[in-house]
Amino acid sequence: MTDLTSLTLAEARKGLADKTFTSLELTDAHLSAIEAARVLNAFVMETPDQARDMAREADAKIAKGEGGPLAGIPLGIKDLFATKGVRTTACSKILGNFVPTYESTVTSQLWRDGAVMLGKLNNDEFAMGSANETSCFGPVGNPWRREGSNTTLVPGGSSGGSASAVAALLCMGATATDTGGSIRQPAAFTATVGIKPTYGRCSRWGIVAFASSLDQAGPIARSVRDAAMLLRSMAGHDPKDTTSVDIPVPDYEAAIGKSVKGMKIGIPKEYRLDGMPAEIEKLWGEGAAWLRSAGAELVEVSLPHTKYALPAYYIVAPAEASSNLARYDGVRYGLREQGKNIIELYENTRAEGFGAEVRRRVMIGTYVLSAGYYDAYYLRAQKVRTLIKKDFEDCFAKGVDAILTPATPSAAFGIGEKGGADPVEMYLNDIFTVTVNMAGLPGIAVPAGKDPQGLPLGLQLIGRPFEEETLFSLGEVIEQAAGRFTPARWW
């Protein structure tokens, strides 16, 4: 049954519809794979009983011809999504054994469409990180290794569990969230496809908040088509999230295979960094060539405020986080460390419950919002954000349909290799992705090749607001040209 795990979601859907296998068989195959891959530490909570119950239910519906668009498809859920009756921690000690009495809008839409939950996936604590090393459950292993090396590499972050599990064929797809690159960077590190849709496309209701104005849910999948299928179920207006947008969700899958002929693709010159590794440069050029040969027109564009994006992001995101994380105070749920008075209770709980990176960002955020610093930091960063947004708007106004960039400045690195001395070294991972969150645009990362050590690399396509379909069409062109990549199993 192990080959069932190597199917794409689209192939599995066909197999289920044709009764070649059942959802229960498909689910069991993945549950076995999860069990065999515990060394990767991708799952922080396995829910096999629930998975089998859901699979049986899906089988019954498929038999009656009532299966939804994702009927019987086993998925992993990032631990940032509240799942009713199933422990949800955001991989933070401070949430302890928190079990929500509610289901996030995004996951409930997946279950509505027949998907099966395999369990909860590891992530950086409160989604703060780019290597999945800040999780209270420990780091996640990337199924990819450098050729001839036994060193375990990071899968990227914060959706490291999602990316690792999808790449290692432990689930057919996974939910993820992206605040500054947390879907696209791990997708690039693991040769999976990840899309961060337009801000407002998916409901944030029931997703543990990191930075509310930047957070957006999206899928990590094995192919562009799979990502399109998943996003269709995840997206949609939700009256419970007033920042979600009330426009119809298109059939994203229909965009797959659609001609990109005549599309204008921007190559932003500011993304050509000094000292950019040759393999990234080469990959970018190849991506451009593939799109050109598919009929797209390549044009150089300018996004002049790009260099301010990362510093501005590291003001806005921590500012919002410092406020969003204030609710974890030991009073109502989660961890409580007693103290002599309420102030001590707060201090003890939060010192014990939050990891170092979260504490750092809460402190940065508190600082930039404080009296006397607000104007110099937060307000200025918001102005920069407006300029970044305008850069993209100007670009799109000139008829550009999408922008092609590398997804990351390098391939995956070893656990503990980066950011130990200087956190900025880690933050630089998001250099190509944060602009997209700051502007609220959709961005997709698609596997496009390998570096000289055999590690996967990805390209990013950035689209106009709510034009995810364009990204799927273009992403498919890259996927067709570059092929799909599967890691050699070592676990």
Return the active site residues. 158, 182
Judged by CB, which is closer to another protein: 28, or 329?
329
Residues in contact with another protein, counted by CB under 8 A, come to a total of: 43
Separation in Å, CA 182 to CA 27, 82, 118: 26, 18, 21
Rounded-to-integer distance, Cα 223 and Cα 14, Å = 15
Candidates 66-74, 117-125, 235-243, 280-288: pick the segment binding another protein (CB under 8 A). 235-243
According to the binding rule CB under 8 A, does residue 240 interact with another protein?
A: yes
User: Between the CA of residue 470 and those of 199, 260, 263, 400, what are the distances in Å?
Assistant: 16, 8, 9, 11
Alpha-carbon distances, residue 405 vs 53, 165, 220, 223, 471 (angstroms)? 43, 25, 19, 19, 13
Q: Which is nearer to another protein, 261 or 340 (CB)?
A: 340
Smallest gap from Cβ 124 to another protein, in A, equals 16
Strands annotated E in 67-215: 74-78, 116-121, 173-178, 193-196
Rounded CA gap, 235 and 249, in Å?
Answer: 7
* Residue 346 binds another protein, judged by CB under 8 A: yes
| Identity of the residue, 20 or 213, whose beta carbon is nearer to another protein in the bound complex | 213
- Using CB under 8 A as the binding rule, the residues of this chain from 98 to 117 that contact another protein are 98, 100-102, 104
Q: Return d(Cα 448, Cα 403) in angstroms, integer.
A: 15
Report which residue type is found at 261: K
Q: How far is the CB of 332 from another protein (least distance, A)?
A: 6
Is 307 among the residues that bind another protein (CB under 8 A)? no
Greatest CA separation for the chain? 70
Question: Does residue number 213 form part of the binding site for another protein (CB under 8 A)?
Answer: yes
Binding mask 311-330 toward another protein (x if CB under 8 A, else -) reads --------xx-xx-xxx-x-
142-171 residues near another protein, rule: CB under 8 A = none
Instruction: Please report, as residue ranges, which positions from 349 to 388 form the binding site for another protein (by CB under 8 A).
Output: 366, 369-371, 374, 378
First and final CA of the chain: distance in angstroms? 18
Q: Residue 332 contacts by C-beta under 8 Å, 6 or more apart in sequence?
A: none
Q: Does 85 bind another protein (CB under 8 A)?
A: no
- Which residues sit at the interface with another protein, rule CB under 8 A? 81-82, 88, 90, 95, 98, 100-102, 104, 204-209, 211-213, 239-243, 319-320, 322-323, 325-327, 329, 331-333, 342, 346, 366, 369-371, 374, 378
